[in-house]
C-alpha cells in the first residue's frame, strides 16, 4: 500500500482543473486551473504606515469597500469555483468590524481561512471570537526584532509590543502562527534576532521577505535597498538557521530580485494560479497589478468571479508565453519563470510587456544593478510613510 502525501501544486498543471464550474468561452483561461488560494484585501485602512506597504499608492477609501453581504457572496462564489483557501489581508483586515462574520461565512462555505494581520488592533476576545468562527491560521507581520526599529518602520508607537502579546494569544488558542518579517537595509542586521524571536514566539513558520520594489516601496527604494554584502550575509544566516531549526521552525526566504540573475516566477505566472481581490472588489492578477497603467480590472460588482478569471483582458494580456518579446520568446526558461514580473517591467522600463529587468538578459539589467548598488551605498534614511494623504516624509529626528 504505502500511502503517500504529495504537494498539491501539481494539481494545477492539470488543464481541466476546476473549470467544470466555469462558463465555457474560448479564452486562454481555459488552459489554466482555478487558484487553490486567493488573497482578499478586505480594506486598505491600516493603523500602520510601513514605507514598503504592498497596497497601491492610491488607496481605496473605506466608503468604496465591499459590504458584508458582498464579501459573503464573493466567498460563496470562490468556494463554488474551486478555491480552497482564503487569505484575509489588507490594509489591516481587523479594521473591518464585520471580520468575525466574514470568517464565519468562509468556514460555512468550506474555505480554509488565514488571517494576515499587523495584530495591533487585536484583543484576546477578538481573536477568540475569530478562532470560534473557524479561523485556521494566523500570520503576524513584524517590522524588526525590537521596538526601536520596529515601531519606527511601522510609524506607530508600541506596535511591536502589541504584536508580541497578540502572538502569545494565537498560540494560547492553539492556532498555528506564521511570523512575517519584511527586510531591508535598515533592519537586515537584525535577521538573526528575528529568527530567534520567531522561535521564542513559538511560531511554526517564518517568512523572511526582502522588500519588493513597487508602489510605496519604490518611492522609498533609496532608504530600503540593501547592500550586496547584507544579502550575502543574510543568506548565510538563513541557511544556518534552517539547518539548526529543522522540525522547529520552517523558514521561507525571499531574496531581493535587483541582485538576482534570473527573475522570480512572479505569482506563479500572470493569471495562472493566483488572484487578489481589492477592497472594492476588483479582481487583480497580483496586489501590485494596478501600478500598471492602461489595464482595466473588472469588479465582482459587475461580473461573476469565474467570468472575470476567464475573460478579463487584463488577465489574458500576459497569460502564457505568446505575448513575450525577445529575448524571452526564444528563451529556454520562458515556461520556468514566465518572463518574471510584469509590474517590475512596467515600473522600471515603462512597458509591462518588456523583459523583467531582474533578468540578466534584459537590456537594462546592468543599469538596474548599478542603481541598486548606488542607492544601497547612499545615505538616505528617512522614510515616506504610507497613508491616505499620499505619503508623509519622516521627521528628521529619527532617520537623519
Partner 1 sequence: MALRNRRIDITEGSRPVLARHAKLKFDEARQVWVILVPERVLAPDEIAVEILQLCDGVRNVDQIVDVLAARYAADREMIGADVIAMLRDLAEKGFLAEAQDTKP
Nearer to partner 1, 70 or 204 (CB): 204
Q: What is the C-alpha to C-alpha distance for residues 210 and 223, in angstroms, rounded to an integer?
A: 13
**Minimum distance of partner 1 from residue 45's CB (angstroms):** 25
Nearer to partner 1, 238 or 306 (CB): 306
Nearer to partner 1, 84 or 129 (CB): 84
Instruction: State the residue for C-alpha cell 514598503.
Output: 52
Q: Is 205 exposed, middle or buried (0-12, 13-18, 19+ CB in 10 A)?
A: middle
For 238, the grid coordinates are 538563513
Nearer to partner 1, 2 or 330 (CB): 2
**Minimum distance of partner 1 from residue 237's CB (angstroms):** 17
**Minimum distance of partner 1 from residue 10's CB (angstroms):** 8
**Minimum distance of partner 1 from residue 81's CB (angstroms):** 7
- HSE of 210 in the Cβ direction (CA atoms, 13 Å)? 25
* Interface with partner 1 (CB under 8 A): 1-11, 14, 17-18, 20-21, 33-34, 36-37, 81-82, 84-85, 110, 112, 114, 136-137, 174-176, 178, 196, 199-200, 202, 204-205, 247-248
**Minimum distance of partner 1 from residue 139's CB (angstroms):** 8
What's the first-to-final CA gap in the chain, in angstroms? Answer: 65
User: What DSSP line would sit under 122-168, residue for residue?
Assistant: --HHHHHHHHHTT--EEEEEESSSSHHHHHHHHT-TTHHHHHHHHHH
Nearer to partner 1, 98 or 204 (CB): 204
Contact status, residue 74 vs residue 45, Cβ threshold 8 Å: no
Nearer to partner 1, 13 or 360 (CB): 13
Cα–Cα distances (Å) from 254 to 50, 96, 169, 210, 312, in that order, read 18, 29, 27, 6, 30
Helices 124-132, 159-172: inter-axial angle, 10-degree rounding = 40
**Minimum distance of partner 1 from residue 142's CB (angstroms):** 17
Contact status, residue 66 vs residue 281, Cβ threshold 8 Å: yes
Nearer to partner 1, 36 or 217 (CB): 36
CB atoms within 10 A of CB 325: 11
Q: What is the largest CA-CA distance in the chain?
A: 67
For 77, the grid coordinates are 462564489
Contact status, residue 120 vs residue 141, Cβ threshold 8 Å: no
**Minimum distance of partner 1 from residue 5's CB (angstroms):** 5
CA-derived radius of gyration, the chain:
21
Q: What is the C-alpha to C-alpha distance for residues 181 and 196, in angstroms, rounded to an integer?
A: 12
**Minimum distance of partner 1 from residue 192's CB (angstroms):** 13
Nearer to partner 1, 54 or 230 (CB): 54
**Minimum distance of partner 1 from residue 193's CB (angstroms):** 13
Q: What is the C-alpha to C-alpha distance for residues 112 and 96, in angstroms, rounded to an integer?
A: 19
**Minimum distance of partner 1 from residue 381's CB (angstroms):** 33
Cα–Cα distances (Å) from 210 to 2, 16, 29, 231, in that order, read 40, 35, 31, 9
**Minimum distance of partner 1 from residue 313's CB (angstroms):** 25
Phi, psi of 112 (to 5 degrees): -85, 120
Amino acid at each position: 500500500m504505502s500511502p503517500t502525501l504529495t504537494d498539491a501544486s501539481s494539481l494545477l498543471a492539470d488543464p481541466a482543473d476546476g473549470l467544470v464550474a466555469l462558463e465555457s468561452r474560448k479564452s486562454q483561461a481555459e488552459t489554466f486551473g482555478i487558484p487553490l488560494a486567493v488573497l482578499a484585501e478586505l480594506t486598505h485602512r491600516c493603523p500602520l504606515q510601513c514605507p514598503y506597504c504592498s497596497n497601491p499608492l492610491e488607496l481605496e477609501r473605506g466608503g468604496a469597500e465591499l459590504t458584508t453581504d458582498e464579501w459573503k457572496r464573493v466567498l460563496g462564489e470562490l468556494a463554488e469555483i474551486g478555491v480552497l483557501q482564503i487569505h484575509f489581508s489588507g490594509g489591516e483586515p481587523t479594521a473591518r468590524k464585520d471580520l468575525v462574520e466574514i470568517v464565519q461565512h468562509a468556514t460555512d462555505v468550506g474555505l480554509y481561512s488565514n488571517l494576515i494581520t499587523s495584530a495591533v488592533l487585536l484583543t484576546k476576545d477578538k481573536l477568540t471570537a475569530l478562532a470560534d468562527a473557524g479561523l485556521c491560521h494566523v500570520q503576524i507581520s513584524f517590522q524588526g526584532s525590537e521596538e526601536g526599529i520596529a515601531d519606527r518602520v511601522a510609524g506607530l508607537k508600541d506596535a511591536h509590543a502589541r504584536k508580541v502579546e497578540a502572538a502569545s494569544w494565537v498560540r494560547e488558542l492553539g492556532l498555528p502562527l506564521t511570523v512575517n518579517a519584511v527586510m531591508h537595509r535598515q533592519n537586515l542586521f537584525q535577521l538573526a534576532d528575528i529568527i530567534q524571536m520567531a522561535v521564542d514566539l513559538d511560531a511554526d513558520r517564518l517568512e523572511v521577505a526582502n522588500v519588493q520594489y513597487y508602489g510605496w516601496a519604490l518611492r522609498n527604494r533609496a532608504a530600503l535597498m540593501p547592500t550586496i554584502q547584507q544579502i550575502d550575509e543574510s543568506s548565510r544566516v538563513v541557511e544556518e538557521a534552517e539547518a539548526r531549526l529543522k522540525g522547529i521552525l520552517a523558514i521561507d526566504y525571499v531574496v531581493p530580485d535587483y541582485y538576482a540573475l534570473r527573475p522570480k516566477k512572479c505569482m506563479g505566472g500572470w493569471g495562472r494560479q493566483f488572484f487578489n481581490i481589492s477592497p472594492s472588489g476588483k479582481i487583480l492578477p497580483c496586489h501590485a497589478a494596478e501600478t500598471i497603467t492602461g489595464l482595466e480590472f473588472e469588479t465582482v460588482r459587475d461580473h461573476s468571479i469565474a467570468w472575470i478569471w476567464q475573460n478579463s483582458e487584463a488577465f489574458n494580456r500576459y497569460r502564457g508565453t505568446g505575448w513575450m518579446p525577445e529575448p524571452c520568446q526564444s528563451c529556454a526558461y520562458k515556461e520556468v519563470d514566465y518572463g518574471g514580473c510584469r509590474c517590475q517591467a512596467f515600473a522600471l522600463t515603462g512597458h509591462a510587456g518588456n523583459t523583467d529587468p531582474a533578468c540578466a538578459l534584459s537590456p537594462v539589467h546592468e543599469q538596474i544593478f548599478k542603481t541598486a548598488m548606488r542607492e544601497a551605498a547612499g545615505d538616505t534614511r528617512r522614510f515616506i510613510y504610507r497613508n491616505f494623504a499620499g505619503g508623509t516624509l519622516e521627521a528628521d529626528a529619527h532617520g537623519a
